[in-house]
Amino acid sequence: MRILLVGNGGREHALLWKLHRDAPHADIFVTRPNGGMIPHCVGVGIDPTDVEALSGWAAAQRIDLTVVGPEAPLAAGIVDRFRSKGLPVFGPTREAARIESSKAFAKELMLDAGVPTAEHRTFTNLAGAETYLRERGAPIVVKASGLAAGKGAVVCGTVEEALDAARSMLDDLSFGEAGREVVVEDFMEGEELSIFAVSDGTHPLLLLPSQDHKRVGDGDTGPNTGGMGAYAPVSIATPEILHEARTRVFEPTLRALADQGCAFEGLLYAGLMHTDDGLKVVEFNCRFGDPETQAVLPLMESSLLELMLTVAEGGSLSGRAARWREGAAVTTVVASGGYPGSYEKGKAIHVPGGLESDGLTVFHAGTAVDAGGRLVTSGGRVLAVTALGADVPEAADRSREAAAAITFAGAFFRSDIGWRERARSSLP
């Protein structure tokens, strides 16, 4: 079997890791692989967003399945182009991917479908946003409507902070085109959950819930990032909560998309807030989350590849389920000094020999191999260290200790990934 994996970050390294386990003899090709992926795949020197070149290459190479990792190629219509050439591909169409590429579209879709989410308004002009923010008060959330690499949501504790965020997006274009339209929504109190669902357009097959840690610092302090770590499973995600997620979030959302003529086939990610009033949607993504993927996939015993092939070939997931191993997984992200702001690249990385084992994996994200053959940093989030354990506290200890053993100039990580679960486990 010949598989093309589009993307080269931490999420894609985890997908590569899982695909190798599901199909050990498959030939797997990756677009511009990072330093950790290079030994385990065949590199393809095409940018992940070059839809036309990739579709032509895949057709010429007789690729059996293409798996699209990042949101940008999906928003650019890679699935539409591959399908037009009769190439099996896992991911949503450009129209369906608007559930992530336009937060304004996603909010209106939820409103029409009756999917619970925060009260919101959408603005393209600063004056209207400022008036609404002063009327609504704080705390409040200001979001760039477009794709902003997971950094476009600003939680504001005061009206002045919210006004600054709106000005930065709408006037200063701090997020470029992604911020020409902003969504202002009420702040929601509660605990977040990340739930992935493999979808055939009608049936959502829910994967193991996880929890991301967005803030850069211990104790959930500092600015939002693309994610500083994650863990799975999450004890608050009871069978009742999962039923609520399926029936009040995923199923009506899939029906609404299908009714608009853009059935969602691929991986639908729901970022949810567990509030006193039940689950509410924080955001949808049209692909696997990062770093949640690095925590969820190591616990998956059944084949992800089979599910992806079924969807890519137009089959049904009705009656299908995934199997999970006992225990827990915790992922700690090791980042470059300065992240999520500016940071330097090209720092030599040292990963101790023998650090990885059957229960500990280092997924690469922002790494490269330089001209001298050294593994060096090439991004803000550099590595994701995933450890397995009997429970979250044990897995967290192993993950943190392994992260501390990895060195490069300016390296830092959060030492408290999974802190909520640890606190719950210590209750009498």
pLDDT digits (tens, 9 = 90+) for 372-423: 999 999 999 999 999 999 999 999 999 999 999 999 999 999 999 999 999 9
Distances (CA, A) of 148 to 125, 162, 168, 169, 248: 19, 18, 14, 11, 27
Q: Give the count of alpha carbons within 13 A of 54, CB side only.
A: 33
Question: Model confidence over 359-376: pLDDT tens digits?
Answer: 999 999 999 999 999 999
Q: What is the pLDDT of residue 353?
A: 92
Residue 316: CB atoms within 10 A of its CB come to 12
pTM for this prediction: 0.94
Q: What is the pLDDT of residue 427?
A: 59
> Tokens 């477009």 identify what position?
146
**If you average pLDDT over residues 56-60, what whole number do you get?**
97
**If you average pLDDT over residues 264-291, what whole number do you get?**
96
**If you average pLDDT over residues 190-201, what whole number do you get?**
97
Q: Give the count of alpha carbons within 13 A of 295, CB side only.
A: 36
Sign (positive or negative) of CA dihedral 270, 273, 274, 277: negative
Measured CA to CA, the distance from residue 70 to residue 51 in angstroms comes to 13
Residue 290 · residue 331 · CB < 8 Å? no
Residue 374: CB atoms within 10 A of its CB come to 14
Q: What is the pLDDT of residue 174?
A: 86
Please name the residues in contact with 282: beta carbons below 8 A apart, sequence gap of 6 or more. Answer: 117, 118, 188, 192, 271, 272, 273
Q: What is the pLDDT of residue 150?
A: 67
Q: What is the pLDDT of residue 178?
A: 82
Residue 125: CB atoms within 10 A of its CB come to 11
Whether residue 428 has pLDDT greater than 60: no
Whether residue 224 has pLDDT greater than 90: no
Residue 127, exposed/middle/buried by CB under 10 A (0-12, 13-18, 19+)? Answer: exposed
Whether residue 151 has pLDDT greater than 80: no
Query: In this structure, what token pair is assigned to residue 58?
Result: 């895949």
Question: Model confidence over 129-142: pLDDT tens digits?
Answer: 999 999 999 899 99
For the ranges 164-168, 317-321, 384-388, 424-428, the lowest mean pLDDT is seen at 424-428
**If you average pLDDT over residues 182-209, what whole number do you get?**
95
Measured CA to CA, the distance from residue 153 to residue 167 in angstroms comes to 14
Measured CA to CA, the distance from residue 366 to residue 358 in angstroms comes to 23
- Cα 326 → chain centroid: 23
Question: Model confidence over 101-131: pLDDT tens digits?
Answer: 999 999 999 999 999 999 989 999 899 999 9
Counting residues of the chain whose pLDDT is more than 90, the rounded percentage is 88
> What domains, with CATH codes, occur in the chain?
2-91 (3.40.50.20), 125-180 (3.30.1490.20), 191-312 (3.30.470.20), 328-425 (3.90.600.10)
Residue 237 dihedral angles phi and psi, to the nearest 5°: -85, 70
Residue 339 · residue 225 · CB < 8 Å? yes
